[in-house]
Amino acid sequence: MPEYMLTVNGQTRRVDCGPDTPLIHVLRNNLGLKGTKLGCGLEQCGACAVLVDGEARLTCVTSASNFEDREIVTIEGLARNGTVSRVQQAFIDEAAAQCGYCTPGMIIAITALLDWTPRPTRAQILDALTGHLCRCGSHARILAATQRLVRED
């Protein structure tokens, strides 16, 4: 089986997987990072999002081999020294999750947005969340959490 070197959450890791194995399966099954969720398996729900070189990318279809020499950050990698990121904290403060299944992908999308656009408009926030589905209906709280962050800057 081929070996790939992936940099995940600041650590370079050697993984053995088939050449067509989607990154989501490598993260969850090979590396034990269960925070990133497998939703639709078709890159249509956003649950599988991670940061790749600072941009939100979906991982349920694209092979892990495509992510060599890239910096991957999962939901687990956003916390530092036991402290959640400011986006994670805003989601907590606004109770922006019900079942929580979509939450990692949403947090990743908002993190990428704020890293690239520190003071996004409402339209930019909504655009960043396009393709991220929440069956529980927490979109209003997710928007409130993001707007809280923009106001705090």
* 13 burial level (CB within 10 Å; 0-12, 13-18, 19+): middle
- Per-residue pLDDT 10s for the chain (153 aa) are 899 999 999 999 999 999 999 999 999 999 999 999 999 999 999 999 999 999 999 999 999 999 999 999 999 999 999 999 999 999 999 999 888 899 999 999 999 999 999 999 999 999 999 999 988 888 899 999 999 899 876
Q: What is the largest CA-CA distance in the chain?
A: 50
- pTM tops 0.85, yes or no: yes
pLDDT of residue 98: 87
Portions of the chain given CATH number 1.10.150.120: 86-152
- pLDDT for 137: 84
Would you say 54 and 70 are in contact if contact means Cβ atoms under 8 Å apart?
Answer: no
Q: How many degrees, rounded to 5, is the angle at CA 10 between CA 7 and CA 13?
A: 40
Check residue 107 and give its pLDDT.
97
Tokens of 134: 């929440």
pLDDT of residue 61: 97
Hey, what CATH class is 3-78 in?
Answer: alpha beta
State the pLDDT at residue 128: 96
Pairwise CA distance, residues 28 & 115, whole Å: 25
Q: Which fold has domain 86-152?
A: DNA polymerase; domain 1 (1.10.150)
